Amino acid sequence: MSEFNINTIVKDFPTLETKIYGKRLIYLDNAATNLKPRSVINSIHEYYSQGTSNVHRGLHYLSEKATDKYEMTRDKIKSFINARDRKEIIFTKGTTDSINLVAATYGLEFLKEGDEILVSEMEHHSNIVPWQLLAKKTGIKIKVIPINDEGEILLEEYEALLNEKTKLVSVVYISNALGTINPIKKMIEMAHQKGAKFLVDAAQAMAHTKIDVQDLDADFLAFSAHKMLGPTGVGALYAKEELLEQMPPYQGGGDMIDVVSFEKTTFNDLPYKFEAGTPNISGVIALFHAIEYLEKIGLENIISYEDELLQYGTKRLQEIDGLKIIGIAKKKTSILSFAIKDIHPHDLATFTDKFGIAIRTGHHCAQPLMKRMGVVATTRASLSLYNTKKDIDELIYALKKAEEIFR
Ligand code: PLP
């Protein structure tokens, strides 16, 4: 097992050296996007300064080098999530794009009026709206799996919703607004028993839990690089090869074709059939370094360190009068969503900002979830591997000050 040394980890993230209003940055907005280690940042600089070239197109040195590096990331992801084959990894713009890809290809091709899709009450908008757009085009029905007051999926209700009309279940692995870790493996098994396919929204899961797509038996899994120490605007879709083979292309353009004529066009093999146009090359290459960094520190170390922070933060938040944690699932990751009586979340975020603290307030792109939990917005502190107990102490200090001022 590799060593977890928080002092060296903190030094790997140059943004943490930034001063905000002259104060040390305390970055607690990791569920929105996390900071990048130096190796990720350097790889982007290196690509543009020494290696700019397109991929899969040129026979010259730089193009071959860029292609090799780009394809190395595919192999890295394959082993990181234990996919059967590198063909099952499609580069996209991120989780949203991956889910839209499935809706626009698998959904449009294979789902028809009368079919049902299940999503849960705790989904991010990007796992709701693509299905609503698809429903408009196809007449499929979207049904919602309810959750309890703690923020956990009700498995009996889920079971009751599954029937022979259910063709797809699309559920988040870890909730961005509550931190709940859903029993995805069990849910996939239940969906498969009814013959439904399962899409896992793993946006928040990749850097906070070990994912093995074969063990989960996931049909689709979507994620974004920027929530796992990588750059923005890039991510991937994992899908079983047999499904990708049957699915029509997503977008048309360069790279996804075999032979083009005005009479008939044939398409490239997997995975390229789904990768039209010049991709985010530096982003894909940087994702390699993000995964390498996670592997170097060790996911198990990260999970246990973040859990320690979660327990500490949960305990310390109790010191704030009138504070209620929103999302108290038995299994959760290091996300602390809360509401404080008589203090508006936006006032709180503006106030804590002056202390150099970056926290998020709002509906976290999960408006139906906010409604279910009986709040319009929450304040969210989301922790990552480079946060410390001292960061939490400073948050508590600022919250106590806010209490004095706003009450
Ligand atoms: N799903 C979840 C659970 C998320 O937290 C997010 C982003 O916050 C998304 C989907 C969408 O990710 P992206 O904006 O990177 O496409």
362 lies in the same domain as 394: yes
Residue 35 lies in a domain: no
Residue 347 lies in a domain: yes
What is the rounded radius of gyration, in angstroms, for the C-alpha atoms of the chain? 22
Catalytic residue among 41, 190, 299, 365: 365
236 lies in the same domain as 354: no
| Atom 12, ligand 1: residue with shortest CA distance | 95
Whichever domain contains 59, its CATH number is 3.40.640.10
Question: How far apart are alpha carbons 291 and 36 in whole angstroms?
Answer: 11
252 lies in the same domain as 197: yes
SS3 string, the chain, reads: CCCCCHHHHHHCCHHHHCEECCEECEECECCCCCCCCHHHHHHHHHHHHHCCCCCCCCCCHHHHHHHHHHHHHHHHHHHHHCCCCHHHEEEECCHHHHHHHHHHHHHHHHCCCCCEEEEECCCCHHHCHHHHHHHHHHCCEEEEECECCCCCECHHHHHHHCCCCEEEEEEECECCCCCEECCHHHHHHHHHHCCCEEEEECCCCCCCCCCCHHHHCCCEEEEEHHHCCCCCCCEEEEECHHHHHHCCCCCCCCCCEEEECCCCEEECCCCHHHCCCCCCHHHHHHHHHHHHHHHHHCHHHHHHHHHHHHHHHHHHHCCCCCEEECCCCCCECCEEEEEECCECHHHHHHHHHCCCEECEEECCCCHHHHHHHCCCCEEEEECCCCCCHHHHHHHHHHHHHHHHHHC
In testing the pocket of ligand 1, which one of 124, 209, 234 has its CB within 8 Å of the most ligand atoms?
124
In testing the pocket of ligand 1, which one of 204, 232, 363, 369 has its CB within 8 Å of the most ligand atoms?
204
323 lies in the same domain as 288: no
Cis geometry, peptide bond prior to residue 271 (ω within 30 degrees of 0): yes
Look at residue 2 in the predicted model and tell me its pLDDT: 64
Cα 130 to averaged position of ligand 1 atoms, centre (Å): 13
Structural domain harbouring 182? 42-295
276 lies in the same domain as 230: yes
In testing the pocket of ligand 1, which one of 95, 172, 369 has its CB within 8 Å of the most ligand atoms?
95
Look at residue 86 in the predicted model and tell me its pLDDT: 98
217 lies in the same domain as 256: yes
Tell me the sheet residues that pair with 357. 26
Give the atom of ligand 1 at the shortest distance from the alpha carbon of 174. 3
Cα 22 to averaged position of ligand 1 atoms, centre (Å): 31
277 lies in the same domain as 355: no
Boundary of a domain, candidates 295, 311, 326: 295
Look at residue 59 in the predicted model and tell me its pLDDT: 87
Boundary of a domain, candidates 262, 277, 295: 295
Length of the chain: 407
The ligand 1 site (C-beta within 6 Å) comprises 94-96, 124, 126-127, 172, 176, 201, 203-204, 224, 365
Look at residue 57 in the predicted model and tell me its pLDDT: 82
Burial of 291 (0-12, 13-18, 19+ CB in 10 A): buried
Cα 261 to averaged position of ligand 1 atoms, centre (Å): 38
Q: Considering its fold, how many domains does the chain have in total?
A: 2
Look at residue 58 in the predicted model and tell me its pLDDT: 81
Task: Establish whether 365 is a catalytic residue.
Answer: yes
Non-local (6+) Cβ contacts of 216 within 8 A are 184, 185, 188, 200
Give the atom of ligand 1 at the shortest distance from the alpha carbon of 226. 15
163 lies in the same domain as 272: yes
Give the atom of ligand 1 at the shortest distance from the alpha carbon of 176. 5
| Atom 5, ligand 1: residue with shortest CA distance | 176
Residue 258 lies in a domain: yes
Report if pTM > 0.85.
yes
Residue 221 lies in a domain: yes
Residue 53 lies in a domain: yes
Cα 77 to averaged position of ligand 1 atoms, centre (Å): 18
Question: How far apart are alpha carbons 331 and 318 in whole angstroms?
Answer: 19
Residue 1 lies in a domain: no
Whichever domain contains 389, its CATH number is 3.90.1150.10
Residue 402 lies in a domain: yes
For residues 345 and 377, is the Cβ–Cβ distance under 8 A?
yes
133 lies in the same domain as 202: yes
218 lies in the same domain as 319: no
| Atom 14, ligand 1: residue with shortest CA distance | 96
Q: Spell out the per-residue pLDDT of the chain, length 407, in tens.
A: 567 999 999 999 999 999 999 999 999 999 999 999 999 999 999 999 999 999 998 889 999 999 999 999 999 999 999 999 999 999 999 999 999 999 999 999 999 999 999 999 999 999 999 999 999 999 999 999 999 999 999 999 999 999 999 999 999 999 999 999 999 999 999 999 999 999 999 999 999 999 999 999 999 999 999 999 999 999 999 999 999 999 999 999 999 999 999 999 999 999 999 999 999 999 999 999 999 999 999 999 999 999 999 999 999 999 999 999 999 999 999 999 999 999 999 999 999 999 999 999 999 999 999 999 999 999 999 999 999 999 999 999 999 999 999 87
Boundary of a domain, candidates 251, 275, 295: 295
Cα 124 to averaged position of ligand 1 atoms, centre (Å): 7
Tell me the sheet residues that pair with 24. 19
Cα 283 to averaged position of ligand 1 atoms, centre (Å): 17
244 lies in the same domain as 316: no
| Atom 4, ligand 1: residue with shortest CA distance | 203
Residue 210 lies in a domain: yes
User: What are the structure tokens assigned to 352, written together?
Assistant: 């804590």
Cα 399 to averaged position of ligand 1 atoms, centre (Å): 27
262 lies in the same domain as 321: no
